[in-house]
Amino acid sequence: MSIVFNPSVRCQLPVLLLLLQGILIGLFAVFLSYDELSSATSLANITVANTHDLDTYFPLFKDVQLMLFVGLGLLLSFLKLYGFGAMALNLVIANFSIQWAVLVQGFFYHYRDGKIHFGLENVMHAEFAAVTALISAGAILGRSSPVQLLLMSMLEIPLFVLNDWLINYYFHIIDIGGTVAIHVFSCYFGLGVSRILYRPGLRAGHSKNITTSTTDLLSLLGSIILWIFWPSFNSVLAKSAEARHRAVLNTFLALSFSTLTTFAVSSLMDKRGRINLVHLQNSILAGGVAVGASADMMITPAGASGLGCIAAFSCILGFQYISPFLERKLKVQDQCGIHNLHGLPAIFGTLGSILAILLDRVDTGGHNLHTGFTPDISIGKESLILDEVEVNGAWNATDQALNQAAALGVTFGVSLLGGYITGLLIKPPCLVHPSDEMCFDDQPYFQIPIDSEEKWSLNPKAQRELLVPLKQV
């Protein structure tokens, strides 16, 4: 029997998962110890992050959990025959990425005395890293196997941590909501992977690439859940209560104006004025992506609102004109339109943050933009950076604006190249991957019910034959 060399799900998925779990538990046993909040007193003047305690972090942690597992899980479940592929693989990719990021980020930022000091803060940061893998997976949804997605996450997480460290350490990027660090990175990484996994056979459409009213409605529900908790996501890393308050308000306004703009522009795009459901499911979130880089600045309520409008505009225009171009000309298939929701709005958001920095506006409240210049507690910020910054001394708006632009450029390059190479590494035919015919279909990976009353009358053998007409099994 040719079990070992056959790309069978049963041979590869359990082996890979059990192996990963075993290795992770082993490394946890050697390196992880609880991060006692009480023992942090001696370090109080260098690590601001320690002032975040359970009461502050735990509610936001649950918000992010809801976004990742319920919001994103539902949003991705829009395909008629690939609901479990979306929601359950989202669960497995997210969990593996979090476990893996706890270790990688731990070695980068929380390693002292031979131990990674592990607490809720680590899990939060690891969830932000996991978001990256989940967004990238959106580009190849339904066209890749769980095995490929797990390997992709394994490669993407360290690169994300490295790039995040780079743009924080060298460019002191202001990016409280991860507009560059998360959205730009994950988008172009995913598109890089997708370029390599390009399937010419899917160019003319696919009979299983369809939605139903119910799946589209649940997907919209998922989008709404992401929408509700996005202010938590963009504000969790704020360095003061005031900044957090502003981040919440600006994000809410950007999202709210994104939403109405989505209805307006999507209606305008259709000959009969009907809203496109794909626009609706995605573009209402564009404002949250865009405002991430400036959410804690004094960009004024009108500024946040306007940014939300622009973000939604760019998202819908992306779906209408850029996605078809990417597929036809550049051979990049983007199943969930991550370039429209994460790429374009994030670029506009970064430009917005540069503009806000250059304008250096002072609000009537007496706060000026310079308060935004002391680097915030970004994802995986090392305490060393704070010292570095204090040594650097003087700041000016032009330097910071250039830094923002440079960080955007670096992230673009790193992620695209990284995605390209990762795509090559997960492409080999020895790895499980669905045939063109079996794309967008749960059947290779899940024992799904036959949606008819005849199910129970079939004998088990006949059922199994019916369910799995797979070549690779």
Applying the rule CB under 8 A, the residues between 113 and 132 that interact with a copy of itself are 113, 115, 118-120, 123
Binding mask 385-404 for a copy of itself (x = CB under 8 A): --------------------
Q: What are phi and psi of 33, to 5 degrees?
A: -130, 155
Applying CB under 8 A, does 162 fall inside the site for a copy of itself? Answer: no
Applying CB under 8 A, does 207 fall inside the site for a copy of itself? Answer: yes
Q: Which of 368, 392, 396, 447 binds a copy of itself (CB under 8 A)?
A: 447
Q: Where are the alpha helices (DSSP H) in 110-145?
A: 120-139
Q: What is the dihedral of CA 430, 435, 440, 445, to 10 degrees?
A: -50
Which residues from 235-264 bind a copy of itself, rule CB under 8 A? 241-242, 244-246, 248-249, 252, 256-257, 259-261, 263-264
Which residues from 327-346 bind a copy of itself, rule CB under 8 A? none
Applying CB under 8 A, does 370 fall inside the site for a copy of itself? Answer: no
Applying CB under 8 A, does 202 fall inside the site for a copy of itself? Answer: no
Query: Which DSSP letter does residue 340 get?
Result: I
Applying CB under 8 A, does 107 fall inside the site for a copy of itself? Answer: no
> CB of residue 263 vs a copy of itself: minimum separation in angstroms?
5
- Give the sheet arrangement for strand 32-34, strand by strand: 32-34, 115-118, 111-112
Applying CB under 8 A, does 95 fall inside the site for a copy of itself? Answer: yes
Applying CB under 8 A, does 463 fall inside the site for a copy of itself? Answer: no
In the 3-class helix/strand/coil scheme, how is 31-61 assigned residue by residue?
HEEECCHHHHHHHCCCCHHHHCCHHHHHHHH
Pairwise CA distance, residues 412 & 271, whole Å = 36
> CB of residue 365 vs a copy of itself: minimum separation in angstroms?
4
> CB of residue 414 vs a copy of itself: minimum separation in angstroms?
28
> CB of residue 185 vs a copy of itself: minimum separation in angstroms?
23
Applying CB under 8 A, does 40 fall inside the site for a copy of itself? Answer: no
Q: Which of 23, 44, 62, 402 binds a copy of itself (CB under 8 A)?
A: 62
Q: How far from 178 is each of 246, 254, 284, 299, CA to CA, in Å?
A: 16, 15, 18, 17
Nearer to a copy of itself, 73 or 380 (CB): 73
Binding mask 73-92 for a copy of itself (x = CB under 8 A): xx--x---x-xx--xx--xx
Residue for token pair 């829009």: 78
Q: Which stretch binds a copy of itself (CB under 8 A): 93-101, 160-168, 370-378, 433-441?
A: 93-101
Pairwise CA distance, residues 21 & 27, whole Å = 10
Residue for token pair 């735990």: 58
Nearer to a copy of itself, 402 or 455 (CB): 455
* Residue 99 CA, distance from chain mean position: 16
Question: Helices 397-426 and 146-169, interaxial angle, to 10°?
Answer: 160
Which residues from 296-315 bind a copy of itself, rule CB under 8 A? 298, 300-302, 305-306, 309
Q: Is 157 within 8 Å of 179 (Cβ atoms)?
A: no
Pairwise CA distance, residues 309 & 267, whole Å = 15
Applying CB under 8 A, does 460 fall inside the site for a copy of itself? Answer: no
Applying CB under 8 A, does 161 fall inside the site for a copy of itself? Answer: no
Q: How many CB atoms lie within 10 A of CB 397?
A: 16
Q: Which of 49, 75, 76, 98 binds a copy of itself (CB under 8 A)?
A: 98
Structure tokens at 380: 């995986």
Which residues from 346-365 bind a copy of itself, rule CB under 8 A? 363-365
Q: Which of 23, 39, 51, 201 binds a copy of itself (CB under 8 A)?
A: 39
Nearer to a copy of itself, 217 or 431 (CB): 217
Q: How many CB atoms lie within 10 A of CB 25?
A: 12
Applying CB under 8 A, does 417 fall inside the site for a copy of itself? Answer: no
Q: Which of 47, 209, 383, 463 binds a copy of itself (CB under 8 A)?
A: 209
Contacts of 126 (CB under 8 A, 6+ apart): 97, 98, 99, 101, 102, 105
> CB of residue 253 vs a copy of itself: minimum separation in angstroms?
8
Applying CB under 8 A, does 210 fall inside the site for a copy of itself? Answer: yes
Nearest to 379 by CA among 75, 91, 87, 64: 64
Pairwise CA distance, residues 174 & 399, whole Å = 12
Q: Which of 44, 46, 59, 374 binds a copy of itself (CB under 8 A)?
A: 59
Q: Which of 38, 41, 42, 459 binds a copy of itself (CB under 8 A)?
A: 38
Terminal Cα-to-Cα distance of the chain (whole angstroms)? 13
Q: Which of 76, 99, 282, 339 binds a copy of itself (CB under 8 A)?
A: 99
